[in-house]
């Protein structure tokens, strides 16, 4: 007989989340596809040594072959190499813009939910941003700051900063609303009232008690924010307002291929497939995280 004094250690909440996530087939499939894409994009160039900017006019507009598995473009550049280079930029933009929008949305949501006097102004600001048309606003921001940032930081770094800031500053509103609603509910919980009764400061209350309990919607928003940022960057690059023409992204490759869609349809297929698979895998992973982090579903 086991000694009742020696009890099993309590299970961690994140262990329960992982156990629930493992049972979600869509999330596991999405995570596997996303990890495969990350490995192909960031580790592939070390195995595939062709320079994505190398021009070989004699090999232009070739179809898939052993030398060029995805074919070549109108300048003879290897499509596979440009797909991997473009994927690095698109995913880097998605991650950076997600972090910016997540940080801004979480900060505004926590402040609005915790401080009653700031709730009204911050939510009206959120409503204002939600009422603005996204694509025209992005176009205006790109047109206004493109030249200034390109001259200051260079064409590639300047456009990267501009695209990340433009997407991040126009996509924080859903996160702010979700986090605010969770904070409003948490404020009425017994442990929050007990912490306030012993004189816990506002800063300690937010960092020790509020933020750890609103991590669930923040994690889900992070997963879905990457997909949204990749789609937005691809749309801007497709419209010719993203990175320079000689700097590949998936949206830029798709834009370049539309001119030759009738003669070489496979050149539209590859970047379109990459964008679709990346966004779909992240969405499946986000759905699994949402279910795993919901305590009402976790125990099923």
Is residue 150 one of the residues assigned to a domain? yes
Contact present, 176 and 126 (Cβ < 8 Å): yes
Is residue 3 one of the residues assigned to a domain? no
pLDDT tens, residue by residue, 177-216: 989 998 988 888 888 888 888 888 888 888 888 888 888 7
Cα–Cα distance between 116 and 99 in angstroms, integer? 26
CATH number assigned to the domain comprising residue 29: 1.10.3720.10
pLDDT(298) > 70: no
Domain extent for 265: 15-44+82-298
pTM listed for this prediction: 0.83
Is residue 23 one of the residues assigned to a domain? yes
Contact present, 206 and 52 (Cβ < 8 Å): no
Is residue 180 one of the residues assigned to a domain? yes
pLDDT tens, residue by residue, 123-153: 999 999 888 888 888 888 888 888 888 888 8
pLDDT tens, residue by residue, 20-35: 778 888 889 999 999 9
Write down the pLDDT at residue 11: 58
pLDDT(297) > 60: no
Is residue 2 one of the residues assigned to a domain? no
Per residue in 136-152, is it b (16+ CB within 10 Å) or e — as a string? eebeebbeebbeebbee
Is residue 77 one of the residues assigned to a domain? no
Is residue 287 one of the residues assigned to a domain? yes
Higher pLDDT, 8 or 74: 74
Please tell me the total count of domains within the chain. Answer: 1
Is residue 54 one of the residues assigned to a domain? no
Mean pLDDT of 248-254: 86
pLDDT(108) > 90: yes
């Amino acid at each position: 007989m086991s000694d009742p004094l020696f009890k099993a250690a309590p299970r961690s909440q994140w262990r329960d989340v992982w156990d629930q996530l493992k049972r979600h087939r869509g999330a596991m499939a999405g995570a596997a596809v996303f990890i495969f894409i990350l490995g192909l994009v960031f580790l592939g160039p070390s195995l595939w040594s062709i320079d994505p900017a190398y021009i070989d006019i004699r090999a232009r507009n070739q179809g898939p072959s052993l030398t060029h598995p995805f074919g070549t473009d109108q300048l003879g550049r290897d499509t596979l190499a440009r797909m991997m280079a473009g994927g690095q930029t698109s995913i880097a933009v998605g991650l950076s813009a997600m972090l910016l929008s997540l940080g801004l949305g979480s900060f505004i949501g926590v402040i609005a939910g915790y401080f009653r006097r700031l709730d009204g102004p911050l939510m009206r600001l959120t409503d204002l941003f939600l009422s603005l048309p996204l694509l025209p606003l992005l176009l205006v921001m790109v047109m206004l700051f493109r030249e200034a940032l390109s001259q200051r930081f260079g064409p590639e770094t300047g456009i990267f900063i501009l695209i990340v800031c433009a997407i991040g500053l126009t996509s924080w509103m859903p996160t702010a609303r979700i986090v605010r609603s969770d904070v409003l509910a948490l404020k009425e919980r017994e442990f929050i009232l007990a912490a306030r009764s012993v004189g816990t400061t506002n800063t300690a209350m937010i960092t020790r008690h509020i933020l750890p309990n609103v991590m669930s919607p923040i994690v889900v928003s992070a997963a879905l924010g990457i997909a949204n940022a990749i789609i937005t960057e691809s749309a801007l690059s497709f419209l010719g307002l993203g990175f320079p023409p000689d700097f590949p992204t998936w949206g830029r490759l798709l834009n370049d291929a539309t001119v030759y869609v009738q003669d070489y349809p496979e050149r539209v297929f590859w970047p379109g497939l990459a964008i679709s698979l990346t966004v779909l895998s992240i969405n499946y992973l986000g759905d699994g995280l949402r279910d795993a982090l919901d305590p009402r579903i976790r125990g099923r």
